[in-house]
Amino acid sequence: MAKGSPDAAAVSASIIEEVRNGVFRPVYLLMGDEPYYPELVCKAIMDNCLDEAERDFNETVCYGPDVTADQVVTAARRYPMMAERQLVVVKEAQGLKGIEALSVYTDAPLDSTVLVLLFHRGKLDKRYGLYKSIAKNGVVLDSPAIRDYEVPGWIVSYYRSRGLGIDPQAAALLAESAGTDLSVIVAETEKLLRNLPESATQVSVQDIEKNVGISREFSVFELTRELSARNAPRALKLARHIGAGARFAMPPAISVLYTHFYRILRYEAFLQNNPHPSREDAAAVLGVSPFFVREYDQAVRNYPLRRTMSIISMLCEYDYLGKGGDGAATAPDELLVELTAKILNS
């Protein structure tokens, strides 16, 4: 997660524990570029705030683009009917025009109202008086976008929270398939769990391949491994097969390759001052599981500093071409093979 920000997973877990125990704050601001945690917390609040019989008269759910700030304030200032509290939820709150006007309410919120402002892939400017008011009188959850290199670690942590272990290669393969959308990872996990034996405690690469529908043998993840080893025949074969896939697109592949070579570059810089690091220290610098350190030890031998910098520049060029830059007419599969060959010959 973003440096200097509270851990979204920890904050969301704390809020969820509170609401399940019947403790509610007057105002919740749920926002961020990664929607998984804000939506998870919003659902927990809605599931626990009111009994089923209380919802008809005490639950108001609206959408930011469809209401005004004055209407939200009016709803929040109502008193509950035959219930301890009422719930007002504003979804897609980033679309609420004049949202700053809500501060007239959040400066002195009612104890009998739970107001939830749920942003979808958006944030409230922290310089606003509204943000400061909610931070003072309520709870703020800010869920920054997760970086692609952080996804395998997040998967390992998430599976642990579900009582499962997952092989590092399996986590990397799932990350490649699902990308950085945590909701997609969770959905794929649910599908996987339905097909695993109830007694299962460990998820393997084979489980991911079988249930998620991605093959390690022909994946960009495997391509980076062969590039690290400078195994030209295998790398070129992989590039041809990956590029021929029905769902292949150049930009996501470039993203994976860029992350891989940026890690190599960062590791090379680290090794200049720390020539014999522990496996754990190397893994921390690389942002990967210690399981993958051996691959990067091989990669830094095969790609000296200048060569790595040249490759990163090349990746930027092919990212531009892969998005149609310069009116490039070369097919994406041909671009990937061409790029792979240039990396190997750099």
Supply the CATH number for residue 68's domain.
3.40.50.300
Cβ atoms within 10 Å of 71's Cβ, excluding its own: 14
Q: What is the CATH number of the domain that holds 154?
A: 1.10.8.60
Is residue 105 included in any domain, yes or no? yes
Residues 159 and 222 grouped into a single domain: no
- Please tell me the distance from the alpha carbon of residue 244 to that of residue 41, in angstroms, as a whole number: 41
Is residue 270 included in any domain, yes or no? yes
Is residue 1 included in any domain, yes or no? no
Number of domains in the chain: 3
Residues 232 and 309 grouped into a single domain: yes
Residues 254 and 203 grouped into a single domain: no
Residues 246 and 269 grouped into a single domain: yes
Query: Any alpha helices (H) in the chain, and if so which ranges?
Result: 8-20, 36-49, 55-58, 69-76, 103-106, 129-137, 151-161, 168-178, 182-195, 205-212, 220-228, 232-243, 250-273, 279-286, 293-302, 305-322, 332-345
Boundary (domain end) residue, out of 214, 244, 272: 214
Instruction: Label residue 102 left, alpha or beta by phi (over 0 means left) and psi (-120 to 50 means alpha).
Output: alpha
Residues 137 and 234 grouped into a single domain: no
Q: What is the CATH number of the domain that holds 297?
A: 1.20.272.10
* Residue 197 backbone dihedrals phi, psi, to 5 degrees: -60, 145
Average pLDDT per consecutive 10 residues, the chain (346 residues; last block may be shorter): 62 96 98 96 98 95 96 97 96 95 97 97 93 97 86 90 88 80 91 87 86 70 92 93 81 86 94 92 86 92 95 92 73 89 94
Query: Closest by alpha carbon to 11, among 304, 121, 109, 34?
Result: 34
- Please tell me the distance from the alpha carbon of residue 225 to that of residue 302, in angstroms, as a whole number: 12
Residues 132 and 182 grouped into a single domain: no
Residue 251: domain span: 217-345
Residues 13 and 112 grouped into a single domain: yes
Boundary (domain end) residue, out of 214, 230, 255: 214
Q: What is the pLDDT of residue 215?
A: 62
Is residue 179 included in any domain, yes or no? yes
Residues 40 and 163 grouped into a single domain: no
Residues 336 and 291 grouped into a single domain: yes
Is residue 183 included in any domain, yes or no? yes
Boundary (domain end) residue, out of 165, 183, 214: 214
Is residue 3 included in any domain, yes or no? no
| Per-residue buried b or exposed e for 14-44, using 16+ beta carbons within 10 Å of the residue's own CB | ebbebbeeeebbbbbbbbbebbbbbbbbbeb
Residues 13 and 138 grouped into a single domain: yes
Q: What is the pLDDT of residue 20?
A: 97
Joined tokens for residue 192:
């996987």
Is residue 67 included in any domain, yes or no? yes
Q: What is the pLDDT of residue 327?
A: 61
How far from the centroid of its chain's Cα atoms is residue 13's Cα?
A: 17
Would you say 193 and 315 are in contact if contact means Cβ atoms under 8 Å apart?
A: no
Residues 223 and 317 grouped into a single domain: yes
Q: What is the pLDDT of residue 4?
A: 36
Is residue 2 included in any domain, yes or no? no
Residues 14 and 138 grouped into a single domain: yes
Q: What is the pLDDT of residue 328?
A: 60
- Please tell me the distance from the alpha carbon of residue 345 to that of residue 338, in angstroms, as a whole number: 11
Q: What is the pTM assigned to this prediction?
A: 0.71
